[in-house]
Structure 1
Amino acid sequence: MGSEEGNLKSEWKEKVFQIFKEFMTRLAKLEELGAAGSKLLTGYQQGLEFLRQPPIDKTSKLIENIVKANETQRVKSYFEAGCINVHDSLQNMSKLRTSLLGLNDHIITAKGILNELEGLLEDVAGAIQTANECLAPLWDEDSGSGLDLQDTTDKEISTSSHLQGPEMTDLAALMGIIYTMVKQDYVMQERIVTSLNLKSLSVELESYSLMWSLRPFINDEIVHQAWRLIP
């Protein structure tokens, strides 16, 4: 009976492992998305900072002397425009808009992947519950057979060795921990994106960019541990 139990357990472990691999594939997509979002946030910060930079002080004697010494039609046009480079301003306004649209798309896509991770977490919980229900009758038979552990055959030892590696509950627990971390990271990103506006302070933008790139809720060692389980 031990061989039958071992084969059934091995089959369910494989099913759980496949769910785990799919979970990690989705996680990789989420991490790639987060890196792209970090670049978009930096682009938004740069665009806004450019638009808010003060114009040249035309009342400064030093600036006046420099202009007179190097006066060209381009410099004259620049001053006539109020010391604003219209072309650069338009480019940065476009960059600002593109970055913000990209960040909003990021939040929508990330939410979709997060929902998929949650679904896989439910799948693995269901698989483990079903596996336990299938194995329970075999455990009951073994407990009533009166067999001693010393009676284990070589075939059963071979089956047992095939079951080495993380248990189903270990994989499920790891998935749960990672899901909790990435969900917290997503919530942080969502709050950052929804708070962005033309009045955002420079210190706020700097903090947002730093927090996004640092991913304070993600324990990299746990994620690396999960990846090491995949051959």
Structure 2
Amino acid sequence: MESREGKSLSELEEEIFQKFGAFMTGIAKIDELGIAGSKLLSGFQQALEFIRRPPIDMNSKLVEKIIVANETKRVKAYISSGCRKLNNSIQSLTNFHSCTRGLCNHIRKAKEILDELEGLLGDVTSAIQTTDGKLLAFSDLDFDVELNEQATYNDLEEKDALSDSQSPDITHLAMVMAFIYSMVKQDYLMQEKIVSALDLRMSLEELESYCQMWSLRPFINDEVVHGAWEHIH
């Protein structure tokens, strides 16, 4: 069967499988990037906690007794410096700025990969529309992150059940790609908002929530992603 562009259906299917493989490679890259970003956010949290750590309470009777009992030159110098070690303060500020830059670079790199994923999804959409307009009204599965997650997930489960004993059809792969792209984009948008909110004035409670959200990746359905990897041969 020849398509309108002169390629046979089998050739277009092979192209789609190759695009799917490249797409999943991109997903692996963005996963690795997310793990690195989580470590940077934790580093930012630790640096901010040190910077914001309150000094020793010099009005405390217990603290006063401890200082009097151990009043060496070193302790006096520490108290004079505001109960902070200069080297530690400098290192914390350095780590703070380093993690901030690293997170900004993370967002830039993640956006580049996300754009590549969108391009691959667009290529697959075009290939499917080229094979036969009746294969899938794929225009309904656009790049909007507001896809009906449960309905799409249920559809993917049904198609997986039908394709247990055979290779998945190309429309199924396209749906998997669209669904995973939707999840990854939502995860990226969350990370982008977190990074844009980071500054010295934010509460430690808010930052802790950001760290948990980043590591939990609430928009990612691991079952769908794991199922997609099973289609890579």
Q: How does 1:130-209 map to 2 (within 5 A)?
A: 130-132=130-132, 164-209=166-211
Aligned counterpart, 1:47? 47
Q: Note the residue ranges of structure 1 that are not aligned, 5 or more in a row.
A: 2-6, 136-162
Q: How does 1:79-118 map to 2 (within 5 A)?
A: 79-118=79-118
Aligned counterpart, 1:11? 11
Deviation at 1:229, TM superposition (A): 0.8
Q: How does 1:25-40 map to 2 (within 5 A)?
A: 25-40=25-40
Deviation at 1:72, TM superposition (A): 2.0
Letter in 2 for 1:62: L
In structure 2, distance between residues paired with 1:102 and 1:122: 30
Greater Cα offset, 63-72 or 218-227: 63-72
Q: Deviations over 1:110-139 (max 9, x none)?
A: 011100000000101111122237x9xxxx
Deviation beyond 4 Å, 4+ runs, structure 1: none
SS in 2 for 1:200: coil
Q: Deviations over 1:118-169 (max 9, x none)?
A: 0000101111122237x9xxxxxxxxxxxxxxxxxxxxxxxxxxx9411111
Structure showing greater relative contact order (alpha-carbon pairs closer than 8 Å, 6 or more residues apart): 1
Aligned counterpart, 1:66? 66
SS in 1 for 2:59: coil
How many aligned residue pairs are there?
198
In structure 1, distance between residues paired with 2:124 and 2:31: 22
In structure 2, distance between residues paired with 1:98 and 1:115: 26
Deviation at 1:57, TM superposition (A): 1.2
Which one has the largest radius of gyration?
1
Q: Deviations over 1:168-209 (max 9, x none)?
A: 111011000000000000000000000111111111001000
SS in 1 for 2:30: helix
Q: Percentage identity across aligned positions?
A: 57
SS in 1 for 2:132: helix
In structure 1, distance between residues paired with 2:129 and 2:62: 79
In structure 2, distance between residues paired with 1:61 and 1:130: 81
In structure 1, distance between residues paired with 2:195 and 2:112: 16
Name the TM-score, length of structure 1 as normaliser. 0.82
In structure 2, distance between residues paired with 1:192 and 1:100: 11
Aligned counterpart, 2:215? 213
Aligned counterpart, 2:56? 56
Deviation at 1:12, TM superposition (A): 2.2
Q: CA RMSD in A?
A: 1.8
SS in 2 for 1:71: coil
SS in 2 for 1:24: helix
In structure 1, distance between residues paired with 2:59 and 2:20: 66
Name the TM-score, length of structure 2 as normaliser. 0.81
Q: Note the residue ranges of structure 2 that are not aligned, 5 or more in a row.
A: 2-6, 136-164
Q: Which has the higher helix share?
A: 1
